[in-house]
Structure 1
Amino acid sequence: MEPDLFTVAAEERQEREPGGSPLAVRMRPRTLDEVVGQRHLLKTGSPLRRLVGEGSGGPAGPASVILWGPPGTGKTTLAYVVSHATNRRFVELSAITAGVKEVRAVIDSAKRESGAYGRETLLFLDEIHRFSKAQQDSLLPAVENRWVTLIAATTENPYFSVISPLLSRSLLLTLEALTDDDLRGLLHRALADPRGLAGAVALPEDSEAHLLRIAGGDARRALTALEAGAGSALAKGEPEITLETLEAAVDRAAVKYDRDGDQHYDVASALIKSIRGSDVDAALHYLARMIEAGEDPRFIARRLMISASEDIGLADPQALQTAVAAAQAVQMIGFPEARITLSQATIALALAPKSNAAYLAIDAAIGDVRKGLAGPVPPHLRDSHYKGASKLGHGEGYQYPHDLPGAIAAQQYAPDEVHGRRYYEPTRYGAEARYADVLDRVRGRLSGG
């Protein structure tokens, strides 16, 4: 028989014996008003409000909902709240361990419950993206016939991981990563609430800051770490969770790193300069510090993309592709797996041949433009595709390079003011050596040599 994890009896037992359940379970919201974050989904009249029957005279809404968002943002919580608010039987399955057999068993029991007792079933399917197409197909009859209310959760883009028939029949709700303020409010509630720690211990600011860093926007992780720290403090008879006690309890040292202060920029600078200096081990050290401090992985990925162009450029044209691919992967998978992608990109960039020629070239060209060296475009290069252009001499004398040997025409391209100035001076490092040889030949042909 499938597990019914949130029966009324279990809830009452948790309230009578709060220490018997994990803090994250005890603090699970019972109503939408207790949900932390996700304000865009909790507005009056929102689909989620309508799903629990608020303002509509009773439960209403689609037979299928897909919750998409990072870990720890409340997907399981929202499913439970909907079940609790609508008095539906709650059944939870994980696509990691369940298959078609388990899904069919839930559907069969849901039909029996509905026929015998008139009680509807809410099926919460976690990690739906791990189901194959055939496994997802098995859900369609239950959704179409409303034998169950399906709430599926995924951390991956559902447009890539969920079959179209199920997606088209579902309400898609996107959950956002929790902010530090969201988590701070949750921690304060857990410290004071009778269901939580009931004021048994205090949380100093430095310990709170460490909890927020290691939580990484994950409410479950924040509460689990708080519970570990509180347990250690109470066992030692301490009135507060000191930073030392918390570090020992969660086995994570507090990284001296302020995401809004000097450390944020100093460590980021050290990461880029270590990559520029080809010290891969130092670069990985700084990357690790940023990850452990809870730095936004997208910020790290942006810095790597800049480094790929500024410090490597055409010495290794693949470097920018690697950095961009890493940024895209980070956006899709998030932490903790994103640490591997960032490590791969950091190592590749640190060990790549270096050239700042592209960086110097554009800055030199911009410098001339700012000095006023931006004369008129030579007449033979001007647009000649409109009526009357020939009367102005536009395009006259232009040589089409593809009609010439080597596809290079010995004609002037730059305005007179900067004709002959050289901005790009390639190095002889890595792949850029080939560009240097090509450039020597091209410049010779352009000058008529």
Structure 2
Amino acid sequence: MRPRTLEELVGQQHLLKPGSPLRQLAGNAQTGPAGPSSIILWGPPGTGKTTLAHVIARGPGRTFVELSAITAGVKDVRRVMDQALSDRDLRGITTVLFLDEIHRFNKAQQDALLPGVENRWVVLVAATTENPSFSVVAPLLSRSLLLTLQPLEEGDIQALLERAVEDERGLAGTVDVEPEALEHLIRMAGGDARRSLTALEAAAGVAWGESDGGADARVRLTTAHAERAMDVAVQRYDRAGDQHYDVVSAFIKSIRGSDVDAALHYLAKMIEAGEDPRFIARRLVISASEDIGLADPTALQTAVAAAQAVQLIGMPEGRIILGHATVHLATAPKSNAAYNGLNSAIADVRAGKGRGIPSHLRDAHYPGARQLGHGKGYVYSHDAPHGVAEQQYPPDDLVGRDYYVPTGNGSERAVAERLERLRGIIRGPQPQRAKDGERRAP
């Protein structure tokens, strides 16, 4: 059922507009004086990368060579390049080199492609499921067009399956698919065309096996047949690639946004994809301090306890603890005041502010320290009422600077009230307190 022309291709319409590079590569048009450019196709499995390579190779005056980065080496690449150069110069034929899984090539192997790509001995069509910015060398990226393929929409998968049911290259009208069965196959495919066709074929096999009709009778494919062929949806998740970072980013942002339901969805997605539960737990610990802080001081305790518990009991039971911590953090009041306060203090330090330490706060225990004035005038806080004494603690140029500005959320509301009283005692009577915006570090 592999499409033979761009018109048969489903999905990826954003790459197939009139005049687009793919249209030109697949047709007679030249994209430049030296011929068509090489391209890198980046997208999930089953979205049409190999199909596009075959369609491009069908253009006039072209020969198609396919290599897999899993099995090919530098010698194979150089052999193809030498043959492509001969074909171009002696026969006027352009070689389309399709290299699947290019991210599996190391730097030396990818460098071997550069002469052929730069001199246009070949039209390289490279496919990868990993972000080329991290997996493809910069010189090769700069000499190629990067085209991003998207997971197929449900409508695209439906059109593909309906065509496969009737087409002579597919089931050739030998089965009638119930609408509910078709919906199940579409939903379970997860935007993967290859997976959807495999599931359809398997479901048809189940239906044929249970059929009592003759060889020419149309078989009815039911939801039960589809469920037996595919009962678990595909999870698009690469623990070393974009999905790893994108899903956990959505997870943390959902917790920060207090959407507990979305947070649990992304947690489930990571768990089902086999993500390291310790990685999830570490991100929860960070979120507890960065996004919740003193608005709910128990959030960090829960997150740390969850991280320890997950290491203690492992999976699959560890998912229960991760769910517990996720619900706590997502529903907790939020404050990033402590996080912002530290960032502001770091910014001042990097800017050279905070020169010196007041002499009364310096260490006075070693011999000769007293003679230097260290510790002189220091007020022991426990000797003052309520354990708080009027005294200068920051360097001279940072007196009055407020780094920590608590919110009115959750427990931090009480902290804000107490902090105002503490600063009033420690700093003593102020002629005119600066506004918060003036006190905060830039």
What TM-score do the two structures reach when normalised by structure 1?
A: 0.58
- Distance, in Å, in 2 between the alignment partners of 1:57 and 1:356 is 52
What are the superposed Cα offsets for residues 55-108 of structure 1, whole Å, 9 maximum, x if unpaired? Answer: 669998534111111111100000000001335222211112222122122223
- Paired residues of 1:229 and 1:245 also in contact (CA < 8 A): yes
Q: Relative to structure 2, which stretch is displaced further, 222-231 or 401-410?
A: 401-410
Q: Counterpart of 2:166? A: 192
Any unmatched runs of 5+ in structure 1?
1-26, 256-271, 293-300, 321-342, 363-399, 415-420, 428-435
Q: Which amino acid aligns with 2:207?
A: A
Structural mapping, 1:46-57, within 5 Å: 46-54=20-28
Q: Is the 2:69–2:100 contact (alpha carbons within 8 Å) kept by the matching residues of 1?
A: yes
Provide the residue aligned with 2:191 in structure 1. 217
Report the residue type matching 2:292 in the other structure. Answer: G
Pairing partner for 1:287 from 268, 279, 288: 268
Mapped to 2, the partners of 1:446 and 1:88 lie a distance apart of 78
Distance 2:29 2:21 in 1: 11
Structure-2 residue corresponding to 1:249:
229
* SS of 2:126 mapped into structure 1: strand
Counterparts of 1:57 and 1:176, CA distance in 2: 24
Q: Deviation string for 1:182-225 (max 9, x for gaps)?
A: 11111111111111111110221221121112211110111111
Answer with 1 or 2: which has the greater Rg. 2
Provide the C-alpha distance between the structure 2 equivalents of 1:242 and 1:358, rounded to a whole number of angstroms: 46
- 2:422 maps to a residue whose letter is R
- Cα deviation for residue 443 of structure 1 reads 4.4
Cross-structure match for 2:219: 239
Q: 1:240 to 1:318 in 2, by over 3 A?
A: same
Instruction: Give the match for residue 423 of structure 2.
Output: 446
Matched, 1:165 2:149: no
Of 53, 60, 67, the residue aligned with 1:86 is 60
Give the counterpart letter for 1:445 in structure 2. Answer: L
Compute the displacement of 1:160 (Å).
Answer: 2.1
1:148 deviates by 1.6
The 8 Å contact of residues 308 and 349 in structure 1, kept in 2 or not, is answered as no
Correspondence for 2:411 = 425
**How far apart, CA to CA, are the structure 2 residues paired with 1:318 and 1:52?**
57
Say if 1:408 and 1:445, in contact at 8 Å, map to a contact too. Answer: no
Contact 1:70–1:177 (8 Å) recurs in 2: yes
Q: 1:423 to 1:216 in 2, by over 3 A?
A: closer
Once the 2 structures are TM-superposed, how far is the Cα of residue 346 of structure 1 from its aligned partner?
A: 8.7
Q: Which residue of 2 aligns with 1:20?
A: none
Aligned to 1:390: none
Q: Which residue number corresponds to residue 17 of structure 1?
A: none
**Structure 1 residues 317 and 90: CA distance shift in structure 2, 3 A:** farther
Once the two structures are superposed, residues 343-371 of structure 1 have per-residue CA deviations (whole angstroms, 9 ceiling, x without a partner) of: 99996564579467962679xxxxxxxxx
**CA gap 1:347/1:225 in 2 versus in 1, 3 angstroms:** farther
**Aligned residue type for 1:249:** A
In the alignment, the residues of structure 1 paired with residue 53 and residue 132 of structure 2 have an alpha-carbon distance, to the nearest angstrom, of 17
The superposition leaves residues 362-416 of structure 1 with CA deviations (integer Å, 9 ceiling, x where unpaired) of 9xxxxxxxxxxxxxxxxxxxxxxxxxxxxxxxxxxxxx99556996679xx99xx
Number of the residue aligned with 1:266: none
Q: How does 1:370-409 map to 2 (within 5 A)?
A: 402-403=394-395
Residue ranges of structure 2 left out of the alignment (5+ in a row): 212-217, 235-253, 274-279, 294-298, 305-316, 337-391, 427-442
| Count of aligned residue pairs for this structure pair | 313
What SS is found at the alignment partner of 1:121?
strand
Q: CA deviation at 1:248?
A: 1.8
Q: 1:75 aligns with which of 49, 73, 85?
A: 49
> Do 2:303 and 2:325's aligned partners in 1 also have CA atoms closer than 8 Å?
no
Distance change (3 Å), C-alpha of 1:242 and 1:358 = closer
1:316 corresponds in structure 2 to 300
Query: Percent identity over the alignment?
Result: 48
Distance 1:401 1:408, change over 3 A: farther
Whether the 8 Å contact between 2:57 and 2:96 is mirrored in structure 1 is yes
- Measured at CA, do residues 64 and 318 of structure 1 come closer, stay the same or move farther in structure 2, by a change above 3 Å? farther
1:37, CA displacement in angstroms? Answer: 0.6
- Report matched runs for 1:22-171 at 5 Å: 27-54=1-28, 61-114=35-88, 117-171=91-145
Contact 2:16 2:23 in 1 (8 A): yes
Alpha-carbon RMSD: 4.7
Aligned to 1:15: none
Mapped contact 2:35–2:120 kept (Cα < 8 A)? no
Task: Name the amino acid aligned to 1:446.
Answer: R
The amino acid that maps onto 1:245 is H
Letter in 1 for 2:411: E
